[in-house]
Amino acid sequence: MNRTPHIPSCPEPAPAIDWRQFMAYCSAIGLGGGTLGGALWEQGQEAGTITKEMLADAEAVLGLEFDADERELMLEGLNRNLRRLEQIRELDIANTVAPALSFDPVLPGRKLPSGSGTFRISRQPQIERPADLEAAAFWPVTHLAELVRTRKVTSLELTEMYLDRLKRHGPRLECIVTLTEELALKQAARADAEIARGHYRGPLHGIPWGAKDLLAEDQYRTTWGAKPFEDQVLDSDATVVSRLDEAGAVLVAKTTLGALAMGDVWFGGRTRNPWNLEQGSSGSSAGSAAATAAGLVGFSIGSETLGSIVSPSTRCGVTGLRPTFGRVSRYGAMALSWSMDKLGPICRDVEDCAIVLNAIHGADGKDPTTRDVPLDWDPESPLSRPRVGYYRSAFERDRRDKEFDDQVLAVLRSIGIEPMPIELPDQFPLGALRIILNAEAAAAFEELTRSNRDDLFVRQDQRAWPNSFRQSRLIPAVDYIEANRIRTMVMQALDAAMSGLDLFVTPTNGPNVLLMTNLTGHPSVTLPNGFREDGTPVSISFIGALFGEGTMLRVAKAYQDATDFHTRQPSEFAV
């Protein structure tokens, strides 16, 4: 049964549109127009033809007005486009099929780093096995790796310890979709056998990790956090999963995400913040952040389109890295927004993020947006005068966590880094550019809207995906293109603002910074910089130059080495 046409009210007047240009464009591409892609087309399908009365209704939704002669003139083309839409909808288009257009964050004329890159981890002190292995549950990857490398702990022992914690604490946090126990035990046994033979793959060899459940693993279901896909099993591994397997890491769990990568509500419940079980863990990398913060995995992988690594990392007090768009392949990951999706690590400290990024970055021949750009990491070489800015007006404005952010600048100055004030461009209607994400997401899950399977979602409120997908069917195709043209202007303006800088530091929730840098594709690392009186963490963010993760992470590590916020454990899960 077809859904009764849903015509949402516009929250603000629609922009003026050159209708003839719009229709000419839509006719040229054979789509019939994103403008009328919702209610008008559905009404036309039921009636068999589009009428002048339907067109008048659509005008009201869009804030447009045509006279009777103009409507009469348009009808033949609209009905022709309706037939074209019907042909398009007859095709089964998988979520894995990307549009024949791709986003490039690198502006013309900008040179990227070249060469092979240098990667060395910091020298570790002598690490001894704790009397109770569970005491290592919150140790960083660098320490866990040293235990495994020196064979003071086997990967199998480490894996069984984390599986036990996942079974005990995972249900309280509602952070796990599927335990991958059988696979994990096999991978751990393989790692131990290889290390015993002298074949050590590197610092992730034998280390248990969790995958956000939008990453395909062909032996287990990949639910995308949404009821319609609860039993979905995909037939190949995501590139990130394959590369971590090649690095010798041990997959112990598929972690929760808010349904289709929004929020922390999934089909099995709401993922909790380990620091306050009355709070959700934020989203959408909800389970990855919660499991890492609670010491249930050695590290995890999350994804970000518009805050899905930054936000739960802030809420859960962990260190989350959002790489440059195009740094990490998204092959085998659920597509939400082809021009904004990014995958990155969620860890206990900055160096762990660098280690994981080193294992997963680079082109794979499957995600056409991915580049081979060297990653330099050597935390023991001198940090040669990084050019660091700070988002001055964001630091100066009154807000709840101002004292914590101000202290970050003081710490940086105390270790010889003098940030210079900068301002981010503020002349663009950034909020309006969210239609880029909304339109792409509605296309990625277009079949859900037309089939009514969106009724299976737990969340059915105004801001949830089902309603957003319906509304997004009414985004004009021309305005989607115009928004992307403005996006280019934003990229140019931010490039000018960061001219001469390697990175800048900003309050995590500084005005427009999250939306702007997700649109431009810049990398960020978010890490704890204090705790409120109620015991919950707060965070600071460092934003790097495109493909400048190495320097960005070096400065963030220098700050983290001078503080201890990242070493604290939520009391209900502490060892």
Please give the positions annotated as active site: 212, 284, 308
- Enter the tokens of residue 525: 């690392």
> Phi then psi for 301, rounded to 5 degrees?
-115, 135
In sign, the C-alpha dihedral spanning 480, 485, 486, 490 is: positive
Q: What is the largest CA-CA distance in the chain?
A: 85
Nearest to 504 by CA among 489, 486, 488, 520: 520
Name the amino acid, one letter, at 173.
L
| Number of neighbouring beta carbons within 10 Å of residue 13 | 8
Helix (H) or strand (E) holding 504: strand 503-507
Helices 68-89 and 39-47, axial angle in degrees (round to 10)? 80
Question: Prior bond to 284 cis, omega within 30?
Answer: yes
Paired strand residues for 422:
391
Type of residue numbered 77: G
8 A C-beta contact, residue 42 and residue 82: no
Output the DSSP codes for 21-87: HHHHHHHHHTS--GGGTTHHHHHHHHHSS--HHHHHHHHHHHT----HHHHHHHHHHHHHHHHHHHH
Which parts of 135-178 fold into alpha helices (H)? 141-149, 155-173
| CB neighbour list of residue 108: distance below 8 Å, 6 or more residues apart | none
Q: b/e for 513-525, b at 16 or more Cβ within 10 A?
A: bbbbbbbbbbbbb
Nearest Cα neighbor of 519 from 495, 542, 555, 538 is 495
256, 177 Cβ separation under 8 angstroms: yes
Token pair belonging to 452: 């009514």
